[in-house]
Amino acid sequence: MKTTFTVTLDDKSLQLKLSNQAELFILEQNNARFKLSEEQIFLLFKKGQVQQIGQSINQIGKIEFDRVLLIRPSDFDLEKEQLASHLANMALEAGIKLKKAPEAMKLPKNLYNASAKAADEIFSVCQPFDLHLEKKKAVSPKAQHRWKKAISTIEFEIRHEGCAGQVIWEKSTQLRLKAGAMLLPDDQVPLRKDGSLSFTGKFATGLREDHANSIDKKHWTTTEDILLRSVNELGHLVYFAGTNSWLELFDAEGRTIHELTVV
């Protein structure tokens, strides 16, 4: 089947115009600071595989992505909720687990057929740009990050519930957690079902023992700067890990350490 469309390129985005005059936008973007009109829905992708489908930028949480697809459902005579729900269902059927998936809707036959036709048109033109709704065989579970000298001049703020602190990535294998940081107390360490320490708990507890002289256990704050080897170690020491720590550190402009250092 032959598909015809036009492409307009600028520094960080592609505009695709389909034969029915529908417009799609592909953004090279790894953060939520992009413009989304009231008429559009978004799809977030990481290495070509969809991660989240939504209708409002406020729905984007702590998630890694590298490209954004913007779609205006009205171009296909559909409501935002209808197309978003259909695309999410397609991803689910392909075995993809989405972050904050749209609410499921049972569409009448005419709207289901219209949504299926729209999805086919959309991804027939997105496929050459390596954007897919099917599950890819190999998607790296961990992004790679690279230290650079300019990063050492930035002070990052920890934004994790119950914690606070300032962090500087000084060298490729050295982070400085500045004095005055607030840690989760030891009684929140993760345990196994039998009440014993989990592997994460053991590692975090060991780190806290190594730096016991720098931690005020009455107020759970650091009394002096602590040097750590990685963002991973930082997450274990401060809040017992359990989340992607690259998305927990923000600079003064609201950018994560992930988006500034991901390769």
Identify the three-state secondary structure at position 168.
strand
* Mean pLDDT to the nearest integer, 81-89: 93
Q: Would the pLDDT of 247 be above 80?
A: yes
* Mean pLDDT to the nearest integer, 12-16: 87
* Mean pLDDT to the nearest integer, 150-177: 95
Q: Would the pLDDT of 99 be above 80?
A: yes
Structural element, H or E, at residue 233: helix 231-239
Give the model's pLDDT for residue 141: 55
CA–CA separation, 51 and 64 (whole Å): 8
* Mean pLDDT to the nearest integer, 188-193: 87
* Domain residue extents for the chain: 5-129, 149-261
pTM for this predicted structure: 0.65
Q: What percent of the chain has pLDDT over 90?
A: 64
Q: Helix H segments across 104-198?
A: 109-126
- pLDDT tens across 18-50, in order? 988 899 999 999 999 999 999 999 999 998 999
Give the model's pLDDT for residue 92: 85
Give the model's pLDDT for residue 107: 87
